[in-house]
Chain A
Amino acid sequence: GQQLNQSPQSMFIQEGEDVSMNCTSSSIFNTWLWYKQDPGEGPVLLIALYKAGELTSNGRLTAQFGITRKDSFLNISASIPSDVGIYFCAGLYQAGTALIFGKGTTLSVSS
């Protein structure tokens, strides 16, 4: 199936550092979502974006819906050890359809 281009594939950072990851697509999406998945569990929704240009925060997380509707980024500020996990972007063409997932960014945080 189709996937989004998500980068970086993995990141190794020190506690307290800021993190940035992004997703790009050749197609336009109407919704961008960011999920976090811990080992052996399902993805948990972090932020949902519904309008081009929208900038939304959830605690230390900030995500933006690109103006072209073909990209999105997620920033994590002042990382902590519990931020460790795999972060997935997901795009949605229209309501009721399935999400298209990026390949994930694995985040490792050392204290």
Chain B
Amino acid sequence: GAVVSQHPSRVICKSGTSVKIECRSLDFQATTMFWYRQFPKQSLMLMATSNEGSKATYEQGVEKDKFLINHASLTLSTLTVTSAHPEDSSFYICSAREWGGRNQPQHFGDGTRLSIL
């Protein structure tokens, strides 16, 4: 079945560091990828929609200059958390929707646990 690979799975870094998270669709093309954030014991909250070859669409309240998204190919989207601070510590999850057909489901990566010291 479709697989979405997310890397790294865990990051621990100092405050002020920028962190890049990769999301790859391994066996299908994804014109659209989504980035979510999940705090402990809470649901997934959409941060932004990433479209191949165009600018990402950010949800209200999400700083686009802080969470940089690049979707350079049909199989790769990256999220860069710039100048990360402790409040950015969270579980970040990407999902990708297979191209073609209205009923293609979204598949999720295994998430990235970001811890800012």
- Chain A residues proximal to chain B, CB less than 8 Å: 1, 3, 31, 33, 35, 40-45, 48, 50, 88, 94-99, 101-104, 106
- Chain B residues proximal to chain A, CB less than 8 Å: 4, 6, 32, 34, 41-46, 49, 59-60, 91, 93, 95, 97, 101-111, 113
Complex: A97 Cα to B102 Cα, angstroms:
11
In the complex, given contacts A94-B102, A95-B97, A98-B49, what are 8 additional A-B residue pairs having Cβ atoms less than 8 angstroms apart? Answer: A1-B45, A40-B110, A40-B111, A41-B111, A42-B4, A42-B93, A45-B106, A101-B44
A40 neighbours in B (Cβ, 8 Å)? 91, 110-111, 113
Complex: A1 Cα to B61 Cα, angstroms:
9
Asked if B111 contacts A42 (CB within 8 A), the reply is yes
Asked if A42 contacts B97 (CB within 8 A), the reply is no
